[in-house]
Structure 1
Amino acid sequence: MKNIAVIGAGAAGMMAAAAAAESGAKVTIYEKNEKAGKKIYITGKGRCNVTNNADTNMFFGNVCRNPKFLYSAVYSFDHDSVYDFFEKNGCRLKVERGDRVFPVSDHSSDIIGTLVRYLQKLHVKISYKSEVTAIEYKDDTVVSITVGRKEKIPVDAVIVCTGGLSYESTGSTGDGYRFARKAGHSLSQPFPSLVPLEVKEPWVKELQGLSLKNVSVKMVAMDPEMENTDGKAAKSKEVKALGVVKQAETVPEKRKKKKAAKSVYEGFGEMLFTHFGISGPLILTASTCYEEGTKYQIHLNLKPALTKEQLDKRIIRDFEEGNKKVFRNVLGGLFPSKLIPVIINLSGIAPDKKVSEISKAEREKLVNLTQDLVMTVTGTRGFNEAIITKGGVNVKEIDSSTMESKFRKGLYFAGEVLDTDAVTGGFNLQIAWSTGHLAGMSAAMEE
Structure 2
Amino acid sequence: MEDCIIIGAGAAGLFAAGAAVHAGKRVTVLEHMDAPGKKLLITGKGRCNVTNNCGPDEFLKNVRRNPRFLYSALNACPPAFVMELLEKGLGVPLKTERGRRVFPQSDRAQDVLDALLRWAKGARLRYEGARELMLENGRCTGVRLQSGEALRAGAVLVATGGVSYPVTGSTGDGYRFARQAGHTVVPPEPSLVSLVERGGVCRRMMGLSLKNVALTLYEGKKALFCEQGEMLFTHFGMSGPLVLSASAHIRDMKKYGYRVCIDLKPALPPEKLYKRVSEDFALLANREAANCLVKLLPASMQPVMLDVWGMDPQRKVNQITREERRRLVELLKAFPVELAGKGDLAHAVVTSGGVSVKEVDPKTMQSKLCPGLYFAGEVLDVDAYTGGYNLGIAFATAYAAASHL
| Stretch moving more, 369-378 or 428-437 | 369-378
Residue 159 (structure 1) aligns with: 157
Q: Which position in structure 1 is the counterpart of 2:225?
A: 265
* 8 Å CA contact 1:210, 1:272 repeated in 2: yes
Distance 2:273 2:363 in 1: 53
Aligned to 1:440: 402
The answer to whether structure 1 residue 99 and structure 2 residue 97 are counterparts is no
Aligned to 1:190: 188
Give matches, 1:279-428, under 5 Å: 279-292=239-252, 293=254, 294-428=256-390
Question: 214, 217, 228: which one pairs with 2:215?
Answer: 217
Q: Which has the larger radius of gyration?
A: 1
**How far 1:55 moved relative to its partner?**
2.1
* Residues 18, 437 of structure 1: 8 Å contact kept: no
Q: CA deviation at 1:149?
A: 4.0
Any residues of structure 2 matched to 1:244-259 within 5 Å, and which? none
Kept in 1: contact 2:262–2:334 (CA 8 A): yes
Match of 1:127 in 2: 126
Using the size of structure 1 for normalisation, the TM-score is: 0.88
Residue 29 of structure 2 corresponds to which residue in structure 1? 29
Identity %: 44
Structure 2, gaps ≥5 residues long: none
| Alpha carbons 1:197, 1:278 under 8 Å: kept | yes
Greater shift, 3-12 or 147-156, is seen at 147-156
Q: Deviations over 1:64-110 (max 9, x none)?
A: 11111001111001111111111212222222222211112211111
* Structure of greater relative contact order (alpha carbons < 8 Å, 6+ residues apart): 1
In structure 2, C-alpha distance between the alignment counterparts of 1:92 and 1:313, rounded to whole Å: 47
> What amino acid is aligned across from residue 229 of structure 2 in structure 1?
G
Shift of 1:220: 0.9
**Amino acid paired to 2:133:** I
- Matched-pair contact (CA < 8 Å) for 2:19–2:120: no
Shift of 1:2: 5.7
For 2:215 and 2:60, the matched residues in 1 are separated by: 22
Aligned Cα RMSD in Å?
1.3
Alpha-carbon distance in structure 2 between the residues aligned to 1:76 and 1:214: 35
> Structure 1 residue runs of 4+, over 4 Å off?
none
Stretch of structure 1 that moved more, 90-99 or 282-291: 90-99
Distance in 2, Cα, partners of 1:135 & 1:353? 72
> What corresponds to 2:134 in structure 1?
136
The alignment partner of 1:312 has SS state of: helix
- Per-residue deviation, residues 354-396 of structure 1 (Å, max 9, x unmatched): 1211112222221112112111111122122111001111111
* Alpha-carbon distance, 1:295 to partner: 2.6
* Residues in 2 aligned to 1:300 and 1:92: alpha-carbon distance in whole angstroms: 36
Does structure 1 retain, via aligned residues, the 8 Å contact 2:201–2:337?
A: no
Number of aligned residue pairs: give it. Answer: 402
Other structure's SS at 1:266 match: strand
Q: Deviations over 1:149-183 (max 9, x none)?
A: 41111111100000001000011111111111111
CA contact (8 A) 1:49 1:102 kept: yes
> For residues 376 and 135 of structure 1, what CA distance do their matches in structure 2 show?
46
